Homo-oligomer: A and B are copies of this chain.
Amino acid sequence: MGGLFVAAERILMTFQVYDTTLRDGAQREGLSYTVADKLAVARLLDEFGVGFIEGGWPGAVPKDTEFFRRARAELDLRHAVLVAFGATRHAGRKVDDDPQVRSLLAAETPAVTLVAKADLRHVQRALRTSADENLAMVHDTVTYLVAQGRRVFVDGEHFFDGYRDDPGYTASVAQTALAAGAERFVLCDTNGGMLPSQVTAVIADLTARLGVAPGQLGIHTQDDTACAVANTIAAVEAGVRHVQGTANGYGERPGNADLFAVVANLQLKLGFPVVPEGCLEQMVRVSRGIAELATIAPDDHQAYVGAAAFAHKAGLHASAIKVDPLFYNHVDPQLVGNRMRILVTEMAGRASVELKSRELGLDLTDHPETLNRVTKRVKELEAEGWSFEAADASFELLVRSELPDAAPPRPFTLESYRILVEHREDGAVVSEATVKIRVRGERVIATAEGNGPVNALDEALRVGLAKHYPELRDFELADYKVGILAGSHGTGAVTRVLVETSDHTGRDWTTVGVHPNVVEASWDALVDALTYGLDRARG
């Protein structure tokens, strides 16, 4: 651990990007990671270049104890320092006799973050101890862990509420932590009620009161006023050089500060090189990878990394964007690994369809009639509930079907299919599908089971096509989404299905189907997926 010790001076000059996705971020409603998920999230965060990864609370959460154990053997971090999170010693107990503190040491991380109550009301009513004992708890625990060779951070819980209520006491908690050897004292807006100008004012007041440099402080915000990112930026502008946040802003209630937006703002707007060279471009990939591990649908409208972050819809814009894309994007999307997208929608005219087609490699400039037909067809289908915004492959098939000799061959024709789902008397649930299709002149009947109706149908179709299309083996259904549509209710609704398929090279493509019956909607999306994939495999 000695080799990880960094000279004090360098520490205070270094900008610290501190991630707490795996600890505070895991408080998000509905989120739960396995230990394997946590290791995978940590690897992604390291690829993004954060300086610190707070892995969890060893001792208090069994999964986290296990995480730190496995991390020692399995995690080989290039950029980040692993941090164990815990509390100051228990009131009235000796620090070296406190099992929770011992668990922190047992995690064997180079750094430890301690949560300390910074609001006297919480000290008295939730912790049920005295003002002085709380300070002693901070002093003793920091001193002890520093003596054991740990870098120590102290999170001042409810710092801002406490500072409003009793600035003297709250400041004394910060002073105690720093005097005992804490590397940074982190101002936590635990209840998330702050605005940027208030953060600025508090930091100025606190640093003047204590005579400390703002570089000795850190900032941890929550998004309850929708200002978490801005509050973090305000703290940095006030001199703070340690920012905490979580991937995609995951966290309790509205969430924490989104570390991606924080880092992108710091680096691209304020010129702080806070992540190593080459890391910023990993942002979209890391963001989506963590969303997948968290099994949370990515937020298309997330700043910088969302699929819609650089998407342009208005027909008005679309024609101007052709002139100069950077006039319509606040930064170059490639800097964060994102890309500009032109959306094909009912609000878009021929210009958008033309631009989108070109993006897919189909130039319609010399085919004005085709362009008109496609635009008309898109509008008709959208009136029925179709949407091609996310389904590039279905859109490409649509355009090519209108171009002379460009339509890919349909791999088969359907005669009929039938699906049976049974909950039997013994409790077993069975799904079975039969397809009757014609493949290259041959009539094929194929039956397969699946763990649900759509899976059974997919399997049966693959069985039926296997002889003529062996490359189907490489296609995997990567994602399957069902949406209920406009103005309809409950299970009687019109459904839209999006299917994402990938092949052995890692390429993926998305197709769409719409129908009142979810099975038929899925069928349409599956058939498009196979048609598109087979054509590409042979092209």
Contact = CB atoms under 8 A, between A and B. Distances in A.
Contact of A29 (B311, B382, B415, B486): B311
Contacts of A249: 301
28 contacts: A27-B313, A29-B313, A32-B347, A34-B487, A126-B327, A158-B327, A195-B269, A225-B330, A226-B228, A226-B229, A252-B308, A253-B306, A253-B311, A254-B303, A255-B301, A295-B486, A419-B420, A421-B453, A423-B520, A429-B515, A429-B519, A451-B516, A452-B491, A453-B518, A479-B489, A479-B490, A480-B491, A491-B522
B330 A387 contact: no
Interface of A: 26-30, 32, 34, 37, 61, 121-122, 125-126, 158, 191-193, 195-197, 223-231, 233-234, 237, 249, 252-255, 258, 261, 264-265, 269-270, 295, 300-304, 306, 308-314, 320, 323-324, 327-331, 343, 345-347, 382, 387, 389, 414-425, 429, 431, 450-455, 458, 476-482, 484-487, 489-493, 495, 499, 515-520, 522-523
A476 B490 contact: yes
A309 B255 CA distance: 9
A327 B421 contact: no
Nearest 5 CB-CB pairings of A with B: A477-B490, A193-B330, A230-B230, A226-B261, A455-B491
Nearest to A57: B316
Contacts of A345: 29-30, 32
Contact of A329 (B26, B191, B270): B191
A418 B420 contact: yes
Contacts of A486: 32, 34, 295
Contact of A226 (B258, B270, B313): B258
A220 B252 CA distance: 29
Nearest to A308: B29
Contacts of A231: 230
A481 B483 CA distance: 8
A195 B233 contact: yes
A304 B482 CA distance: 28
Contacts of A328: 191
Given A417-B422, A417-B423, A327 B196 contact: no
Nearest to A262: B226
Contacts of A61: 347
Contacts of A323: 125-126
Nearest to A330: B193
Contacts of A522: 491
A330 B192 contact: yes
Contacts of A424: 416
A29 B300 contact: yes
A310 B295 CA distance: 22
Contacts of A421: 418-419, 421, 453, 517, 519
A454 B346 contact: no
A313 B301 CA distance: 26
Given A230-B196, A302-B254, A269 B225 contact: yes
Given A227-B229, A417-B423, 14 more contacts: A29-B389, A32-B346, A125-B327, A193-B269, A225-B261, A226-B302, A226-B304, A295-B487, A416-B425, A423-B523, A452-B491, A452-B492, A452-B516, A453-B453
Nearest to A515: B429
A345 to B, nearest CB: 8
A237 to B, nearest CB: 6
Contact of A265 (B225, B261, B479): B225
A283 to B, nearest CB: 13
A121 to B, nearest CB: 7
B429 A517 contact: yes
A311 B424 CA distance: 40
Nearest to A454: B491
The residue among A191, A226, A230 with the most chain B CB atoms within 10 A of its own CB is A226
The residue among A264, A311, A451 with the most chain B CB atoms within 10 A of its own CB is A451
A312 B223 CA distance: 14
B492 A224 contact: no
A226 to B, nearest CB: 4
A417 B423 CA distance: 5
B476 A252 contact: no
A415 B87 CA distance: 54
Nearest to A424: B416
A520 to B, nearest CB: 5
Contacts of A515: 429
Nearest to A430: B517
Contacts of A28: 301, 308, 313
Contacts of A258: 226
Contact of A312 (B192, B252, B454): B252
